[in-house]
């Protein structure tokens, strides 16, 4: 009934959580829907807050406020596209929406999201705002690595490329991968020459001598398992006003 007093006995609570709870601060209890106690890969669609301009690297520890939950985790960033594969971003972009992926308990829509970064003094800066996109462990996030090589000998449609690999086994392993150049040429590896990493490549047009041969490699990545539900309360925000000494005013005059 409404207005009844309820006594709760909670077990397995760390001492750090009990110390962070201030006397007189109310505690809110929330009932969970089915499967909300299970862990999954949670994707948040966020946009960088204009008040924060510091670079935020991927897999950097952040504090999340997602729905009724507050936790600490190290997410990865990826592009928000309609494709089935999404390129990983090394930094949180300030000019476009970004998908933030993190291991966290399952949450159902609608749920807002706030991302904070904790400073050394305990204060928290707002980094990004957004909402829950989905809880989907099948979403593919790919990290791209670019290998580069230099054309050593150039013929009409082929060229000998070096400095991309340094042994014959690597050339034979990556032989099916397509090549491209900075000047827009497309090609593939034809054969390995010798044992020191030289290879013969065929292209759709002749290469200029200043061109660079590139190979794109992709690897599926996942966020780090660093979920921590025990987050301290942030320090109260205090407005800081700049003060000017009278001596400085005299110097300005």
Q: Do 87 and 53 have their domain in common?
A: yes
| Tens digits of pLDDT across the chain (253 residues) | 788 888 888 888 777 777 767 666 777 778 888 999 999 999 999 999 998 889 999 999 999 999 989 999 999 999 999 999 999 999 999 989 999 999 999 999 899 999 999 888 878 899 999 999 999 999 999 999 999 999 999 998 999 999 999 999 999 999 999 999 999 999 999 999 998 899 999 999 999 989 999 999 999 999 999 999 888 777 766 655 554 455 554 555 5
Q: Do 115 and 194 have their domain in common?
A: no
**What local confidence, expressed as pLDDT, does residue 241 receive?**
53
**What local confidence, expressed as pLDDT, does residue 58 receive?**
94
Q: Is residue 118 part of a domain?
A: yes
Q: Is residue 114 part of a domain?
A: yes
Tell me the two tokens of residue 234: 């942030």
Q: Do 59 and 149 have their domain in common?
A: no
d(CA 139, CA 37): 21
Report how far apart, in Å, the C-alpha atoms of 190 and of each of 66, 128, 174, 184 are: 52, 48, 11, 19
**Residue at which a domain ends, from 138, 162, 194:** 138
Q: Do 178 and 91 have their domain in common?
A: no
**What local confidence, expressed as pLDDT, does residue 227 receive?**
94
CATH of the domain at 147: 2.40.10.190
Tell me the two tokens of residue 49: 């807050």
Report how far apart, in Å, the C-alpha atoms of 204 and of each of 148, 152, 199, 253 are: 18, 18, 17, 70
| Strands of 106-171, DSSP E | 112-118, 124-135, 140-154, 158-162
Residue 212 · residue 179 · CB < 8 Å: no
Q: Do 150 and 84 have their domain in common?
A: no
**What local confidence, expressed as pLDDT, does residue 112 receive?**
95
Instruction: Domain count for the chain, please give it.
Output: 2
In terms of Cα–Cα distance, which of 200, 139, 130, 138 is closest to 165? 200
**What local confidence, expressed as pLDDT, does residue 249 receive?**
47
Instruction: Give per-residue burial for 35-57: e unless 16+ CB within 10 Å, then b.
Output: ebeeeebbbbbbbbbeebeeebe
Q: Do 118 and 165 have their domain in common?
A: no
In terms of Cα–Cα distance, which of 183, 177, 176, 218 is closest to 204? 183
| Strands of the chain, DSSP E | 39-48, 62-66, 69-73, 76-79, 85-89, 98-105, 112-118, 124-135, 140-154, 158-162, 179-181, 186-193, 198-203, 213-220
Q: Do 81 and 121 have their domain in common?
A: yes
Give residue 16's Cα distance to chain centre: 29
Q: Do 73 and 133 have their domain in common?
A: yes
Q: Do 111 and 148 have their domain in common?
A: no
Domain of residue 86 covers 35-138
**Residue at which a domain ends, from 86, 103, 138:** 138
**What local confidence, expressed as pLDDT, does residue 183 receive?**
93
CATH of the domain at 124: 2.40.30.10
**Residue at which a domain ends, from 118, 138, 158:** 138
Residue 155 · residue 169 · CB < 8 Å: no
d(CA 158, CA 64): 53
In terms of Cα–Cα distance, which of 101, 110, 111 is closest to 136? 101
Q: Is residue 249 part of a domain?
A: no
Q: Do 72 and 50 have their domain in common?
A: yes
């Amino acid at each position: 009934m409404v207005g009844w007093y309820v006594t709760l006995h909670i077990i397995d609570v760390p001492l750090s959580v009990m110390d962070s709870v201030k006397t007189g601060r109310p505690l809110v209890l929330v009932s969970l829907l089915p499967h909300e106690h299970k862990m999954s890969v949670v994707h948040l669609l966020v946009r960088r807050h204009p008040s924060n301009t510091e670079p935020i690297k991927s897999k950097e520890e952040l504090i999340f406020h997602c729905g009724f939950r507050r936790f600490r985790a190290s997410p990865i960033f990826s592009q928000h596209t309609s494709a089935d594969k999404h390129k990983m971003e090394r930094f949180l972009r300030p000019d476009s929406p970004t998908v933030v992926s993190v291991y966290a308990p399952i949450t159902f829509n609608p749920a807002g999201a706030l991302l904070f970064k904790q400073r050394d003094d305990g204060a928290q800066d707002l980094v990004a705002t957004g909402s829950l996109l989905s809880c989907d462990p099948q979403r593919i996030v790919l990290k791209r690595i670019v290998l580069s090589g230099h054309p050593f000998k150039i013929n009409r449609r082929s060229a000998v490329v070096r400095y991309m690999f340094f042994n014959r086994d690597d050339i034979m392993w990556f032989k099916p991968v397509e090549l491209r150049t900075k000047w827009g040429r497309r090609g593939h590896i034809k054969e390995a020459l010798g044992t020191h990493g030289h290879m013969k490549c065929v292209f759709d047009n002749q290469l200029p001598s200043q061109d660079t041969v590139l190979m794109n490699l992709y690897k599926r990545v996942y966020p780090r398992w660093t979920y921590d539900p025990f987050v301290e309360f942030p320090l109260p925000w205090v407005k800081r006003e700049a003060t000017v000494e009278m001596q400085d005013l005299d110097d300005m005059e």
